[in-house]
Amino acid sequence: MRNFSHCLRGFAILIAGTTIAASAHAADLASDTAELVKRGEYLARASDCVACHTAAHGKPFAGGLPISSPVGTIYSTNITPSNEFGIGHYTEQQFSDALRHGIRADGANLYSAMPYTSYSVFTDDDVHALYEYFTFGVKPVDQPVPKTSLPFPLNIRASMKVWNFLFLNKDTFQPDPHHSVEWNRGKYLVQGAAHCSACHTPRGFLMQEETSLELAGGQVGAWYAPNITSDATSGIGSWSKEDLVDYLRFGRVRGKAQAAGSMGEAVEHSFQYMSTADLEAMATYVKSVPPIHDSTDDTSRFSDGATSSELAALRGRDGVKSANDAHPTGSELFQANCASCHSAQGQGSKDGYYPSLFDNSATGSRNANNLVATILNGVDRTTTAGQAYMPGFGGNPDDINALSDEDIALLGNYVLRHYGNAHATITVQKVAEVRKGGPSSSLVALARAGIGAAGAAMILLLAYVTVRSRKRRI
């Protein structure tokens, strides 16, 4: 008996011991998973998955955001772990194939509106962390999204295979031993998660990124993502590393630039959440990108213009207009619509909340696209530094603030002549184009001309245009 009870006790201790060990193991596993989920969440933020995969006023990641392209609307999909409507049934391999190679679980190709060409550099570890996050860290939303149905031949997803064959680099990131760990981390983030080049690198005829012109500037829908190579005149060679870190975190650098449009969104939804170490790493890499000089730039866009005012001349008038003076002048339009914030002489407010209109990349650039886009769409960006808000003047014609294309050209040219780059001009056609959402691609022209199969295959690539015309979420 003694022996038996001894045995029993021993058994109990054994069981208790195993349970303790097992729960310790479970706790380890749980904290490993929690750690991975956290890392996945950080990467998802840095990659801005939510920007495209959330509809206006919709649940995060439940998809349904319409992304317009000249040939039809592509809807982002539900990437919550819902089994029926989302990616709950995706294995890690299938998730990795979608993310890095643009292949859906059913084997069909994704349109490149999903930026898998940038995400292809993701390491296996990072894909794993993202998978854990989208499996355990995101709430399933059982809700369908509208189906994307582009017209023939764009509905043949397999044609993306041709494009992938030509342009998709399937290699994950390979560190360069000649550079520091920080530089390599920066390059990995800039090319992958933060995909700066998706907007800042010009695109070729087939909408592929021109890798030899890395970060030399590109049109992104209504906005122009400027040259951010290290060239001192055409690029941001004059910026310090701290300037760039501040810009990515707050969306502005006084006396240089502000972030509106898709850059404002990227700062608000993504970059401001990145760690200081990661922002510094990205700045280190960006500052090392070889300079690309545009020979039409003779001065830096950050150093153009000076304080100026025609107010005195205006005041000198008696206020009665002659018949052929019925239309307001550029100066009058400026005083009526802009001076209240940017001040009568364009120098902005003392605290810098309202920026000066000289020493400002939006007015100092030879390409006045972003001045037009700002007047039409305004600025709305919230970071830890608060909200930067300027109303847009492009509204409906019955909106009292709305300005016509003619008014904006007149006003814009006044701003350029007085505060900005005197060599730049804004035509009424340019304003109309930006109002429409930016220039359309040469591929559209090809497609319209109906040049047959080759043209048709190319139109498929138009999906790419969509990356550049991300709709606002709000």
Kindly report the number of other CB atoms within 10 A of residue 232's CB atom: 12
Provide, rounded to whole angstroms, the least separation between the CB of residue 44 and ligand HEC.
Answer: 6
What is the DSSP pairing of strand 72-75 with strand 66-69?
A: antiparallel
Pair 250, 259: CB distance under 8 Å: no
Provide, rounded to whole angstroms, the least separation between the CB of residue 55 and ligand HEC.
Answer: 12
Closer CB to ligand HEC, 184 or 361, in the complex: 361
How far is it between the farthest Cα atoms of the chain? 120
**Which residues partner with 252 through β-bridges?**
258
Provide, rounded to whole angstroms, the least separation between the CB of residue 225 and ligand HEC.
Answer: 4
* Residue positions counted in the chain: 474
Closer CB to ligand HEC, 110 or 447, in the complex: 110
Closer CB to ligand HEC, 286 or 462, in the complex: 286
Backbone angles phi, psi at 298, to 5 degrees: -100, -20
Pair 194, 46: CB distance under 8 Å: yes
Provide, rounded to whole angstroms, the least separation between the CB of residue 439 and ligand HEC.
Answer: 14
Residues 350 and 335: their CA atoms lie apart, in Å, by: 19
Kindly report the number of other CB atoms within 10 A of residue 261's CB atom: 23
Provide, rounded to whole angstroms, the least separation between the CB of residue 143 and ligand HEC.
Answer: 13
Closer CB to ligand HEC, 23 or 91, in the complex: 91
Closer CB to ligand HEC, 196 or 461, in the complex: 196
Provide, rounded to whole angstroms, the least separation between the CB of residue 388 and ligand HEC.
Answer: 3
Provide, rounded to whole angstroms, the least separation between the CB of residue 69 and ligand HEC.
Answer: 10
Closer CB to ligand HEC, 11 or 299, in the complex: 299
**Which residues partner with 390 through β-bridges?**
379
Residues 463 and 150: their CA atoms lie apart, in Å, by: 10
Provide, rounded to whole angstroms, the least separation between the CB of residue 166 and ligand HEC.
Answer: 18
Residues 180 and 187: their CA atoms lie apart, in Å, by: 11
Residues 258 and 360: their CA atoms lie apart, in Å, by: 8
Closer CB to ligand HEC, 458 or 468, in the complex: 468
Closer CB to ligand HEC, 379 or 461, in the complex: 379
Residues 470 and 474: their CA atoms lie apart, in Å, by: 12
Give, in order, the Cα–Cα distances in Å from 374 to each of 354, 408, 423: 13, 11, 19
Give, in order, the Cα–Cα distances in Å from 290 to each of 1, 285, 304: 85, 10, 24
Closer CB to ligand HEC, 14 or 274, in the complex: 274
Provide, rounded to whole angstroms, the least separation between the CB of residue 254 and ligand HEC.
Answer: 9
Closest alpha carbon to 118 in 192, 190, 187, 184: 192
Pair 112, 467: CB distance under 8 Å: yes
Closer CB to ligand HEC, 193 or 458, in the complex: 193
Amino acid letter for position 451: I
For residue 189, the SS3 value is helix
Amino acid letter for position 64: G
Provide, rounded to whole angstroms, the least separation between the CB of residue 452 and ligand HEC.
Answer: 24
